[in-house]
Structure formats: structure tokens, C-alpha cells
Amino acid sequence: MSRTFHILTYGCQMNEHDSEKISGMLNSIGYKELDNDNKDAISSADLVILNTCLIRENAAQKVFGKLGALKGLKRKNPNMLIAVCGCMMQKEEVRKQTLKKCPFIDIIFGTNNIHELPELIKKAHIEKAVSIIENTEKIYEDMPKARKYSHKALVNITYGCNNFCTYCVVPYTRGREKSREPGDILNEIRDLAKNGCKEVTLLGQNVNSYGKNLSNEFSFAELLREISKIDGIEFIRFMTSHPKDLSDDLINAIKESEKICNHVHLPVQSGSNNILKEMNRKYTREHYIALADKIRHEIPDVAITTDIIVGFPGETTDDFMETVDLVKNVQYESAFTFLYSPREGTKAATMENQIPEDEKHERFNHLLDTLYPIALRKNEECIGKTYKILVDEVSKSSGEYLTGRTQHFRLVHFKGDKSLIGKIVNVKIDTVKTFFLEGTIV
């Protein structure tokens, strides 16, 4: 009988895609994934893997909560293997703390050595198997991937980050920035297209610096142009764009191609120059606003979304109000908002002037009160318009509805049969809410 596994993924799309690689590796050695909808998956699997995230405090807390539950399951079924991987394990102090708190963990590996998993499983039947590669130049191209969807795919273009924003652990957990060779990326996407994939999302901590460290420099805009020549690929998305590196050529590439989605996720983090400097973001609010204006001017039908951190150490009321002012100025289609939480090992965690929690919450609510009406008004502009949408899945809230996204990344619900999943339909928008649109297939 084949062995089974269950994988729980925390954090960002990078981690989601790493989990697809982990699943692919496990399938290649005969393990079968238990259906995520199966409530007993976690208790009946031979191998349970937690792919962890360290970027926010609550993601790490969730992992410890889940490990607490796994302790009981392991007691009942000592043959179950428990593996923990991902960003939390890349940090030595966190790894040590996790092993101390949870000595029942059988396997630990990191973000740079997913390819070692089959060997680690063999070893874990004899002794605890811990292996981490701190930093590596090497990119493993031939790892099998068990992708969650066949009609859309996540594709790494860079790994790691060189920016060292003072609040962020990524440069410590994923190492220095490395770009994949354009040929490898294009071959992967050609293969995906041959197998029916219609949408790719290109992933990198900073896609705009793609190619800078390749022996033959190749820009992100050039890469997008090459991908848009691939037959079968209809939607090209990408994230994340660091504002300091977004080039005019990228704006031109988006303008030129129907396939490159008119959506730029451009994390601002703060609207105050003082805070941006403390964050080591390497741009000013003036630069950011001018860039957003240029993008909106050059690509009139564009959506700009962002990430904002509230309550960074030393943030005064005036600094915060500059963020609110910037939000009103840029008029974001949507935003991910975060309360600052200190991450061990980062410079910001050692800054003295941390903001009290109640103050952070008050500012956070003020920010949402600014963002939401803008998002709703922008969504209202979609009423009566028709959008080309790749049908993703059955809606989680109602079995009668399907969901997909506009090229601007707006979530749309519409009635339809699940046989349409993976097909492209035209949907006319009837009603809107702050976070989604509702429409009818036409």
C-alpha cells in the first residue's frame, strides 16, 4: 500500500509553490497526498509536513499551535513522521527553539534543500533528520512539481532578496537574490502551456531586479515580452514589484501586451519619508507618488495595489497621517495592511521606540476606514462592464457560484457549472462589494 502525506502551508505564494515542489518530490517516491477536504487527513497521514512562515508573528504562532495538536497524534501513532520546513526553520534560533519545544519532530529541512527530502525521510526512520542549507547560489531546476491547478501556475523567477528592509526576515531565511535563467523559465512555461495552463504568476521578492545577477543580463521587461509570445498563455501576472526598481521599460511591456495583466502590486509600506528611511526602503514618498502617477498615466486601465505596515518603531501620528494622505493620493484598488510585529534578528526589532499595541490598532482602523471606501468606489466603476475571466474554482461560500479574477486581480463570483473551471468566460458585472464583484456570464 502506498504511503500518504498531508501538507499544511503557511504564508505567501512562494511557500505555496514550495509546497507544490514538496508534493511533487513525495509523489516521485510513491507517497500519495490526502485530500485537503478530508477532515481526517492530518490524523491518518503517514507523513505530515508543516511548511512554515516567519514573516508575521501570528503565522509562527499558528505553527506552534498545530505542533501542539500533532504531539497528541504522534503519541497515538508513533509511526507517523512529522516534518517541519520553510522559513521558520532557516533561522537557527527558531529552529533550536522549535526542536526544544517539540522534540517529537522527525524531519527538519529549509527553503534551499527541498530536493533532499527523500533522503531525509529514509534517515528519519532511524534517527532525527535535520538538514539546512544556509545560503546557496545553486538553483535546482529539475524538481518535480505537483501543481494545485492545471489552468494556472506559480512560476519562480527569482529566489531570495538583497534589500534588507529593516523589518523583514526574508534575506535571512531565503538568502541572497538569485535569478533563474530565462531559458529555464521559458521552457517551464512552454511545458505548462502545452498541458493546458492559461495563466502564470511570476514570483520573486522583487521581480523588478530579475536578471541583474545573470551572466548575460536579461531584464524583467524582456522576460515578460518573451513569455507573452507563448501560445496558450493568456494571462501573465507577477509579484512583487519593489518601487525603487520599477523601470519605464516594464511599464511599456505591460502597455504593449494584452496578455500582461494591468495590475501592479507596488508595496509602499509607509507614506512618511522618516519611516521609509528607517525601513531602508530606498525611495521617498515623492518618488513613489510620481511612479504611481506615471503608471496610471501610461496604463489608464491599471489597478495598483499595495502593502502597508502600521506602527513601525518610531512612527509618529504625523508619520501615520502621511501614510493616510498617500493612500488618498494614490487611490489603491486594494491593499494588504499589517500591524508591525518585531521579527527576531531584524534591525527594527532592536529599535527602542516601539509603538504601543492599542495605538497601532487605532491607526490600523483609521487606515482601513480610508482604504475601504476607495476600494468600494473603484469596484463600483466596474458595474455594467464585461471582463474576460479564467474560471478558477467553485466558490467556497456557495456551490452554485464559480470564482475567477479580472486582469486587475479583482475577485468575481458568478453562477455557472463547474465544467467551466479552467475555461475563459466573459462576465458582466452586476453588483459589487468592497472585496469582490458579482456578475453574470454573457
d(CA 100, CA 283): 41
Question: Within 349-378, which residues bind ligand SF4 (CB under 6 A)?
Answer: none
User: Is the Cβ of residue 198 or residue 285 nearer to ligand SF4 in the bound state?
Assistant: 285
Between CA 9 and CA 63 the distance in angstroms is 10
Using only C-alpha atoms, the chain has a radius of gyration, in whole angstroms, of: 22
54 binds ligand SF4 (CB under 6 A): no
d(CA 42, CA 127): 22
Alpha-carbon distance of 397 to 407, in angstroms, equals 22
| Min dist. Cβ of residue 295 to ligand SF4 (A) | 19
Q: Least separation, in Å, of the C-beta of 240 and ligand SF4?
A: 7
Give the bridge partners for 339, in sequence order.
Answer: 310
Q: Which is nearer to ligand SF4, 120 or 161 (CB)?
A: 161
Q: Which residues pair with 308 in a beta bridge?
A: 269, 337
Please, what is the minimum distance in Å from the beta carbon of residue 308 to ligand SF4? Answer: 12
Query: Considering the complex, what minimum distance in angstroms separates the CB of residue 241 from ligand SF4?
Result: 10
Choice between 165 and 371, CB closer to ligand SF4 = 165
Cβ atoms of residues 213 and 179 within 8 Å: yes
Distance in Å, CB of 164 to ligand SF4, minimum: 6
Site for ligand SF4 in 247-286 (CB under 6 A): none
Give CA–CA dist 132/322, Å, rounded.
42
- Taking 3-state DSSP, the helix, strand and coil percentages for the chain, each rounded to the nearest 5, stand at 40, 20, 40
Nearest distance from C-beta of residue 198 to ligand SF4, angstroms: 28
263 vs 265, beta carbon nearer ligand SF4: 265
Which CB atom, from 174 or from 198, has the smaller least distance to ligand SF4?
174
| x/- letters, 142..181, toward ligand SF4 (CB under 6 A) | -------------------x-xxx--x-xx----------
Query: Which CB sits closer to ligand SF4, 171 or 439?
Result: 171
**Residue 176 vs 194, nearer CB to ligand SF4:** 176
Which residue lies nearer to ligand SF4 by CB, 45 or 348? 348
* Closest approach of ligand SF4 to the CB of residue 18, in Å: 15
Closest CB 401 distance from ligand SF4, rounded Å:
34
Judged by CB under 6 A, how many residues of this single chain contact ligand SF4?
Answer: 10
Instruction: Compare residues 73 and 351 and give the one whose CB is closer to ligand SF4.
Output: 351
Q: How far is the CB of 180 from ligand SF4 (least distance, A)?
A: 17
Whole-number minimum distance, CB 177 to ligand SF4, in Å? 8
305 in Cβ contact with 335 (< 8 Å): yes
Nearest by Cα to 441 from 429, 407, 346: 429
Q: 330 near 292, Cβ under 8 Å? A: yes
Exactly one of 205, 262, 406, 407 binds ligand SF4 (CB under 6 A); that residue is 205
209-248 residues in contact with ligand SF4 (CB under 6 A) are: 242
In angstroms, what is the minimal distance from the CB of 168 to ligand SF4?
3
Strand 424-432 and strand 386-394: pairing? antiparallel
Q: 373 to each of 137, 147, 240, 308, 335, how far by Cα in Å? A: 45, 36, 25, 17, 12
d(CA 288, CA 264): 13
Residue selected from 158, 173, 206, 379 as contacting ligand SF4 according to rule CB under 6 A: 206
The 8-class DSSP code of residue 232 comes to T
3-state secondary structure of 244: helix
Cβ closer to ligand SF4: 54 or 302? 54
Q: Are 302 and 296 in contact (CB under 8 A)?
A: yes
Kindly write out the interface string for residues 286-305 of this chain, putting x where it contacts ligand SF4 by CB under 6 A and - elsewhere.
--------------------
Closer to ligand SF4 by CB, 205 or 270: give it.
205
* Main-chain phi, psi angles of 277, to 5 degrees: -65, -45
Report the C-alpha gap between 68 and 395 in whole angstroms: 31
Instruction: List the alpha helices (DSSP H) in 202-355.
Output: 220-227, 248-256, 273-279, 285-298, 317-330
Q: All 3 cell numbers of residue 252?
A: 511599456
> Can you give the binding site for ligand SF4, defined by CB under 6 A?
161, 163-165, 168, 170-171, 205-206, 242
